[in-house]
Chain A
């Protein structure tokens, strides 16, 4: 998968949320986006998902323009803002409900991913009773359980404890090993530098810096 963002700008009301963004991202890499609150990270991720339309510029995915040739990326999993699920359902039931839309994965794969993120598949607790950390884990599970080619994670380590963050890093390693394109935003620069091949810095809706990193894990096959 190749994502090319060309002169992307987005205006909502009278506010310019994204300003002249240019990026190029390929499968098999992890891209970090850092910036303070309100810098435009989430809106950029929404634009890549196809949930919002550019005011100017374009987003090309494998040569097809998002919003014209494509409504949404062909294969995407996303965790955007706070993880939102059905309060009355358990974690498994929530993921089963999502899985029924594409019918790509079954119960076993769902359980596997829940174990990977540190949740218990046999736990029938309703989502509304989950702690913040558990909700976050389910959000991550929801983004990855169907093995999408593009994985977008908006501040995935929020509310995670140290052990969970270690598990999360292993998940990112696996995603990269299966040649997914991963985009993560994070407040913690250290975690981002450890995980990412490239880090984009955003400020006031613009990309102000780009740095190549040496991720802590050896991802090469």
Chain B
């Protein structure tokens, strides 16, 4: 709208910053308990992986090397594509992978609904811009996703340090034994990209998408949509479904499939841009009716 366009650049930047600071503070206050649960979940994951390694060592009487990147790979590995292609086997999504990504959705859900009610409307009246208000929510979503992954990396780093200190690279022997995959194709240069950069960017895109869906419908629908996306991604190994990039076993250096981390990063960036823009358009037309109305319909033409 013209009023928003007429705001001087300096005022807009200040408004963006204030809204972003507000939403980041409120967002973390909203989901700090969920992040505490995440700590416990990641501890459980890392314990489970450590126990599997110890069991293998005990059974095979060998010493296995497992470092920080190995733990992360085990959490993010997902499932290989050839399990689906074999029609004799059951389709089962890997629990650890699914829980990790669905819990992220759960952590991020519900905040925007809270902010559409009374206190959030008071903030909106003071911000005077629906676009800036939506941007604040997106800032929180982006930062919240980054913190989610940081907690994962932090807890895992502690486990790795305790186990045998930091070591570069992935242990090919470990993943061959635990997951029957060959990770030697993943060079040390790409480890940071496929284990940090790509998952964070793509997850951010997916979380912004779920923020948009929960704005248009409700948090439950957004959780269902995310579950469907992840499940269908598990079933169909295709570069068009985002969940495939989050399953590291399916990346081209490991599986030979056409699932390249470069595509994953591009997918994530496009998804982020599309959600930012779509949300801004949606909120520029949305009636904020408060608690008394179940449906908040977009504006109709005059």
A: residues with CB less than 8 A from B are 11-13, 42-43, 46, 49-57, 64, 67-72, 74, 76-78, 80-86, 88, 94, 97-98, 100-103, 142, 146
Q: A81 contacts which chain B residues (CB < 8 A)?
A: 118, 290-292
Compute how far the CA of A180 lies from the CA of B287 in the bound complex, rounded to whole angstroms: 26
For B284, the closest partner residue in chain A by CB is: A71
CB pairs A–B below 8 angstroms (5 shown): A51-B290, A55-B302, A56-B302, A69-B2, A72-B125
Contact for B1 among A52, A67, A78, A80, CB less than 8 A: A67
Whether B121 lies near A51 (C-beta < 8 A) is yes
For A51, the closest partner residue in chain B by CB is: B288
Indicate whether A85 sits within 8 Å of B119 (C-beta atoms), given known contacts A51-B288, A101-B19: yes
Compute how far the CA of A72 lies from the CA of B126 in the bound complex, rounded to whole angstroms: 9
Interface size class, chain B: 35 or more
Whether A84 lies near B3 (C-beta < 8 A) is no
For B2, the closest partner residue in chain A by CB is: A69
- Cβ of A13 to closest chain B Cβ, rounded Å: 6
Q: A76 contacts which chain B residues (CB < 8 A)?
A: 125
Whether A52 lies near B300 (C-beta < 8 A) is no
Contact for B128 among A11, A54, A71, CB less than 8 A: A71
Q: A94 contacts which chain B residues (CB < 8 A)?
A: 119
Compute how far the CA of A97 lies from the CA of B297 in the bound complex, rounded to whole angstroms: 29
6 closest pairs, A vs B, by CB?
A: A84-B118, A53-B299, A101-B126, A52-B287, A51-B288, A70-B3
Whether A13 lies near B295 (C-beta < 8 A) is yes
- Cβ of B23 to closest chain A Cβ, rounded Å: 11
Q: A86 contacts which chain B residues (CB < 8 A)?
A: 26, 29, 119
Is the C-beta of B130 less than 8 angstroms from some C-beta in chain A?
yes
Contact for B2 among A42, A68, A101, A142, CB less than 8 A: A68
Indicate whether A12 sits within 8 Å of B295 (C-beta atoms), given known contacts A84-B119, A85-B118: yes
- Cβ of A78 to closest chain B Cβ, rounded Å: 6
Compute how far the CA of A12 lies from the CA of B288 in the bound complex, rounded to whole angstroms: 11
Is the C-beta of B55 less than 8 angstroms from some C-beta in chain A?
no
Whether B117 lies near A84 (C-beta < 8 A) is yes
Q: B119 contacts which chain A residues (CB < 8 A)?
A: 84-86, 94
Q: A67 contacts which chain B residues (CB < 8 A)?
A: 1, 299
Q: A101 contacts which chain B residues (CB < 8 A)?
A: 18-19, 22, 123, 126-127
Is the C-beta of B273 less than 8 angstroms from some C-beta in chain A?
no
For B130, the closest partner residue in chain A by CB is: A71
Indicate whether A13 sits within 8 Å of B297 (C-beta atoms), given known contacts A72-B128, A78-B125, A88-B29: yes
Contact for A70 among B1, B125, B126, CB less than 8 A: B1
Q: B125 contacts which chain A residues (CB < 8 A)?
A: 49-51, 72, 76-78
Q: B292 contacts which chain A residues (CB < 8 A)?
A: 42, 81
Compute how far the CA of A77 lies from the CA of B122 in the bound complex, rounded to whole angstroms: 8
Whether A64 lies near B3 (C-beta < 8 A) is yes
Compute how far the CA of A68 lies from the CA of B301 in the bound complex, rounded to whole angstroms: 13
Within 8 A of A (CB), among B252-302: 285, 287-293, 295, 297, 299-300, 302
Is the C-beta of B176 less than 8 angstroms from some C-beta in chain A?
no
Q: B302 contacts which chain A residues (CB < 8 A)?
A: 54-57
Whether A82 lies near B129 (C-beta < 8 A) is no
- Cβ of B48 to closest chain A Cβ, rounded Å: 35
For B293, the closest partner residue in chain A by CB is: A12
Q: B18 contacts which chain A residues (CB < 8 A)?
A: 100-101, 103
Whether B123 lies near A71 (C-beta < 8 A) is no
Whether A69 lies near B3 (C-beta < 8 A) is yes
Whether A53 lies near B285 (C-beta < 8 A) is yes
Compute how far the CA of A42 lies from the CA of B128 in the bound complex, rounded to whole angstroms: 20
Whether B129 lies near A71 (C-beta < 8 A) is yes
Q: B300 contacts which chain A residues (CB < 8 A)?
A: 11, 55
Compute how far the CA of A43 lies from the CA of B296 in the bound complex, rounded to whole angstroms: 13
Is the C-beta of B92 less than 8 angstroms from some C-beta in chain A?
no
Which of A13, A64, A71 has the most chain B CB atoms inside 10 A of its CB? A71
Indicate whether A12 sits within 8 Å of B4 (C-beta atoms), given known contacts A71-B128, A84-B118, A98-B126: no
- Cβ of B106 to closest chain A Cβ, rounded Å: 21
- Cβ of A3 to closest chain B Cβ, rounded Å: 15
- Cβ of B215 to closest chain A Cβ, rounded Å: 15
Whether B22 lies near A100 (C-beta < 8 A) is yes
Compute how far the CA of A51 lies from the CA of B302 in the bound complex, rounded to whole angstroms: 17
Whether A51 lies near B287 (C-beta < 8 A) is yes
For B3, the closest partner residue in chain A by CB is: A70
- Cβ of A53 to closest chain B Cβ, rounded Å: 4
Whether B118 lies near A69 (C-beta < 8 A) is no
Indicate whether A97 sits within 8 Å of B22 (C-beta atoms), given known contacts A55-B302, A67-B1, A71-B129: yes
Q: B124 contacts which chain A residues (CB < 8 A)?
A: 51, 72
For A47, the closest partner residue in chain B by CB is: B287
